[in-house]
Structure 1
Amino acid sequence: MNEKRDQWSSKLGFILASAGAAIGLGAIWKFPYMTGMNGGGAFFLLFIGFTVVIGLPLLIAEFIIGRGAQKEAISAYKVLAPKGLWSIIGKWGVFGSFLLMSFYSVVGGWVLIYCTLAIPGMIIKQNANYEALFGSITGNPLVTIIGLAAFILINVVVITFGIKDGIEKTSKILMPLLFVFFIVLVIRAVTFEGSMEGLKFFLQPDFSKLTGESVLYALGQSFFSLAVGFSVMVTYSSYLGKDISLPMSAASVSIMNIIVSLLAGLAIFPVVFSFGLSPAEGPGLLFMVLPEAFAQMPFGELFLSLFLLLFLFAILTSSFSMLEIITSAFSAKKDRSRKKVAAVAGFVIFLAGIPAALSSSLLANFKLFGLTVFDLSDFLVSNILLPGGCLLISIFIGFKMNKQLMKQEFSYSNQLSGGTFQLWFQLMRWVVPLTIIIVFLRSLGLL
């Protein structure tokens, strides 16, 4: 993207690019282990509910703000509300994206390392201990920092030269391939002996396992997996033409996100229970289960390599959107060079990500509030900053933005009735902010 206000060339391209920005680590990496740590099926059901009732309206809201203003995140709020401090919502998003990318890039580095090892066939081995392999990679300071640097460098290079054409064109090929590979993995996973226990854990809700903290995590996961709360989708939709329906596009992205989350759970938990792993293993769950599953398939190393490459693409499309919001915000001021802004932002993110990268090695015993730097960054983003950003956006939509402009943007190119707009508006004005506040207070034990 650049400041000439380019537009996506097609509705499909925009939806797939937005889905790529949303899906990434949220649905494929984080969702399985968060579900495993919070009781399985009940968490999944709660996640779907929050996605439909809270996440989808917020995604529509960010689309409306972006296309309505035709500006990047910070400038968009200044255009739509020149008076007051509403631009703080965009600044909140830029800061949140910075913090998110600082630890997100650590996981991106892990995937890069796994890709590097998988292509020459160095991961899948007879009687391999994949848990030990993951520990040896994340516990090596030099390896994790190199992975972090390489992942950020890829992002900087792409953002420097613009991302629209690359993301839109490749998304049309690679996102469908990601679905195909997931389906193949699911089919194999459910045939393992003992897989039914994993399916029951994932699909059979047990609400007695839910806590106030679990509810907060489910809400945060719905925001994380849809990339709402940091105005990332404000920037993406600012390049969107008026001939595309925002509610329908947002619904498509949300449905794809739920489907990928479902496939991730169906692929992971049968294998977890079949091989006696713990569903509450944590961030490394995916890296231990995938090799175990592919090792049981013909040409498993080849399929693992292809899947990891597609997984890497999904992660990169998400990280592109994070670096884009930062780059767009700072390059919009005083006509600064995108190349310089992207390079400086990437370097600062790299420095900020080093403590998170060392959280499994040199800084493993350094904890704040009982959490490592990596886990603390994740908690702050998912359970404080994202819900906070969503709360601010809902207040902006419900009480500040011009209602007529919202109705116009909502109604372009679709056959939805005025009642549908009113339903969405009332959800944004009352249900979304009150739900966020209630869930947050309940997680703190104040309700």
Structure 2
Amino acid sequence: MARVNWTSRIGFILAAAGSAIGLGAIWKFPYTAGTNGGAVFFLIFLIFTVLVGLPVLLAEFYIGRKTGKNAIDALKELSRHNGAWVWIGRTGVVGCFVLLSFYSVVGGWVLAYFVHALSGSLNAHTDFPKLFEQTISNPYQAIVYQAIFMLITIWVVQKGVSEGIEKANRYLMPALFVMFIILAIRSMTLPNAMAGITFLLKPDFSAVTANTLLTALGQAFFALSLGVSTMATYAAYLDRQTDLFRSANSIMWMNMAVSLLAGLVIFPAVFAFGLKPDAGPGLIFIVLPAVFQQMPMGTWLFALFMVLVTFATLTSAFSMLETVIAATIHEQQDRRRKYTWLIGLVIFVVGIPSALSFGVMSETKIVGKTIFDLWDFLITSLIMPICALATTVFIGYVQNRQQVWAHMREGSRLPEKVVQIWYIALRYIAPIAILLVFANTLGLINFK
């Protein structure tokens, strides 16, 4: 991979935050929280993010910046071509491939709702649940919008993404925050909004189940784009003067802020409009349009908001495709255009069954799950945590401690104690947390 550095630390943070935030915070967090107890899920998600997600994020930063190479080549170099550890990178790249195949489906939904706003389909009299069902179940619309989303992603990545993404993030990510704050304020002033705020911020520990723990851990990895090599790929573009700890901390809290704002937009509105918080993946597409209709110029504001959400969605998609392409072309940039189009189109084809999972293929089940839900479960609940666990072992136990510490201190003015705390968390807290959740899931122990 060509060594092309970010132009500034803030540019990297915004680009990495754009990769991490995406639909993980805006789309996935509200409905996973809604189906897993609300506030107690948010609390467990926060704990997992700080104690497990942040240490693993820094470990991925180490892999990328230390070598300046794509995930697979980086692990080859660090492991001295030990095939067992290289599989962390290979599995992560495959995970990115599969993740983008169904992520692009939801990206297509976002594009469809932007068109709905412009076409006048959204107004105070719209049956929003019915509109969402029609949008995702129509095979023509589902595939066409998925294709458009993938074409945009391919077009940008084949040109090289660092320059365009970094510049765009400087304006659009702050705009997304501003829009979310406006929406949250409006949502919290709706009738019966306090019930939604209570649902999000007052934990009910009786709602904790094994599935809550597993889902919260998976969300922590999904929200930070961990376990699929994207952060290692982005970190390969960093110079040695960048403070990895401050950057990772900024990315994590920006992600948590967006997750919280998304919850404050969604759940007060859910209770205000008499909807159920466990409505599932369609929650943001059913509730948000209704919230906007309560605001002056709501339809146009919703269209603008969907533009910003589209951008946040695309920046995540860029990083996923870039991870696969970087691992495919290695440092041969003359192959980028050809392989980006080829691999991008294959990802689109693989994603078609996911696009049809809410319509003509809704009855097609594998182990009781639709294709969309199966991919989601395999990536967020299995591949991401497993690769993250392997990363903690590789960096925490296999790599030379002094070399790891020395590299992590490059560009950082933080005291060495911070590095030590991170290293302890990586060696003990992160792997133990992951193993306990898996043991509970497999029935070896019971947290209930």
State TM-score, norm by structure 2: 0.97
Equivalent residue for 1:119? 118
Cα deviation for residue 259 of structure 1 reads: 0.4
Please say if residues 2 and 331 of structure 2, whose CA atoms lie closer than 8 Å, have aligned partners that are also in contact: no
Residue 185 of structure 2 aligns with an amino acid whose one-letter code is I
Matches within 5 A, 1:131-142: 131-142=129-140
C-alpha separation in 1, matches of 2:226 and 2:402: 23
Equivalent of 1:46 in 41, 44, 59:
44
Please say if residues 362 and 370 of structure 2, whose CA atoms lie closer than 8 Å, have aligned partners that are also in contact: yes
Residue 70 of structure 1 aligns with an amino acid whose one-letter code is G
Specify the SS of the correspondent of 2:403: helix
CA-atom RMSD in angstroms? 1.1
Equivalent of 2:313 in 315, 323, 326:
315
C-alpha separation in 1, matches of 2:342 and 2:127: 40
C-alpha separation in 2, matches of 1:342 and 1:140: 28
Residue 76 of structure 1 aligns with an amino acid whose one-letter code is A
Cα deviation for residue 89 of structure 1 reads: 0.9
Please say if residues 179 and 260 of structure 1, whose CA atoms lie closer than 8 Å, have aligned partners that are also in contact: yes
Equivalent residue for 2:231? 233
Specify the SS of the correspondent of 1:188: helix
C-alpha separation in 1, matches of 2:35 and 2:420: 37
C-alpha separation in 2, matches of 1:406 and 1:336: 33
C-alpha separation in 2, matches of 1:379 and 1:365: 18
User: Could you report, residue by residue, the CA deviation over 1:388-447 in whole angstroms, capped at 9, with x for unpaired residues?
Assistant: 110111111112223233212211222222222121112111221121011011022221
Equivalent residue for 1:418? 416
Matches within 5 A, 1:243-262: 243-262=241-260
Residue 56 of structure 1 aligns with an amino acid whose one-letter code is L
Cα deviation for residue 290 of structure 1 reads: 0.6
C-alpha separation in 1, matches of 2:103 and 2:78: 31
After the TM superposition, which of the residue ranges 308-317 and 394-403 deviates more from structure 2? 394-403
C-alpha separation in 1, matches of 2:195 and 2:322: 42
Matches within 5 A, 1:25-64: 25-64=23-62
Specify the SS of the correspondent of 2:358: coil
Please say if residues 124 and 290 of structure 2, whose CA atoms lie closer than 8 Å, have aligned partners that are also in contact: no
User: Could you report, residue by residue, the CA deviation over 1:364-398 in whole angstroms, capped at 9, with x for unpaired residues?
Assistant: 11111211111111111110010011011111111
Equivalent residue for 1:195? 193
Please say if residues 246 and 409 of structure 1, whose CA atoms lie closer than 8 Å, have aligned partners that are also in contact: no
User: Could you report, residue by residue, the CA deviation over 1:283-302 in whole angstroms, capped at 9, with x for unpaired residues?
Assistant: 00000011000000001011
Equivalent residue for 1:297? 295
Equivalent residue for 2:358? 360
Equivalent residue for 2:63? 65
C-alpha separation in 2, matches of 1:74 and 1:58: 17
Q: Does 1:268 align with 2:266?
A: yes
Q: Does 1:24 align with 2:22?
A: yes
Residue 340 of structure 2 aligns with an amino acid whose one-letter code is A
Please say if residues 67 and 409 of structure 1, whose CA atoms lie closer than 8 Å, have aligned partners that are also in contact: no
Please say if residues 175 and 308 of structure 2, whose CA atoms lie closer than 8 Å, have aligned partners that are also in contact: yes
Cα deviation for residue 325 of structure 1 reads: 0.5
Cα deviation for residue 83 of structure 1 reads: 3.6
Equivalent residue for 1:99? 98
C-alpha separation in 2, matches of 1:336 and 1:369: 43
Equivalent residue for 2:284? 286
C-alpha separation in 2, matches of 1:46 and 1:215: 7
User: Could you report, residue by residue, the CA deviation over 1:134-158 in whole angstroms, capped at 9, with x for unpaired residues?
Assistant: 0001010011000111111111100
After the TM superposition, which of the residue ranges 284-293 and 409-418 deviates more from structure 2? 409-418
Cα deviation for residue 82 of structure 1 reads: 1.3
Change (3 A) 1:62 1:136: same
C-alpha separation in 2, matches of 1:147 and 1:418: 50
Specify the SS of the correspondent of 2:418: helix
Cα deviation for residue 80 of structure 1 reads: 1.1
C-alpha separation in 1, matches of 2:286 and 2:271: 13
Residue 230 of structure 1 aligns with an amino acid whose one-letter code is V
Matches within 5 A, 1:187-226: 187-226=185-224
Cα deviation for residue 340 of structure 1 reads: 1.1
Equivalent residue for 1:347? 345
Residue 414 of structure 1 aligns with an amino acid whose one-letter code is S
Equivalent residue for 1:242? 240
Residue 379 of structure 2 aligns with an amino acid whose one-letter code is V
Residue 10 of structure 1 aligns with an amino acid whose one-letter code is S
Cα deviation for residue 333 of structure 1 reads: 7.2
C-alpha separation in 2, matches of 1:233 and 1:151: 22
C-alpha separation in 2, matches of 1:333 and 1:65: 17
| Structure 1 moving runs of 4+ over 6 Å | 333-336
C-alpha separation in 2, matches of 1:395 and 1:336: 36
Specify the SS of the correspondent of 2:4: coil
Specify the SS of the correspondent of 1:425: helix
C-alpha separation in 2, matches of 1:15 and 1:335: 25
Residue 203 of structure 1 aligns with an amino acid whose one-letter code is L
Cα deviation for residue 119 of structure 1 reads: 2.5
Please say if residues 17 and 171 of structure 1, whose CA atoms lie closer than 8 Å, have aligned partners that are also in contact: yes
Cα deviation for residue 116 of structure 1 reads: 1.7
Equivalent residue for 1:89? 88
Long gaps (5+) in structure 1: none
C-alpha separation in 2, matches of 1:5 and 1:421: 26
Specify the SS of the correspondent of 1:17: helix
Identity %, equivalent residues: 47
State TM-score, norm by structure 1: 0.98
Residue 440 of structure 2 aligns with an amino acid whose one-letter code is R
User: Could you report, residue by residue, the CA deviation over 1:213-265 in whole angstroms, capped at 9, with x for unpaired residues?
Assistant: 11010010000000011111111010101111001100000000000000000
C-alpha separation in 1, matches of 2:332 and 2:116: 44
Specify the SS of the correspondent of 1:318: helix
Cα deviation for residue 361 of structure 1 reads: 0.7
C-alpha separation in 2, matches of 1:66 and 1:387: 19
Cα deviation for residue 334 of structure 1 reads: 6.8
How many residue pairs were aligned? 444
C-alpha separation in 2, matches of 1:412 and 1:397: 17
Please say if residues 198 and 271 of structure 1, whose CA atoms lie closer than 8 Å, have aligned partners that are also in contact: yes
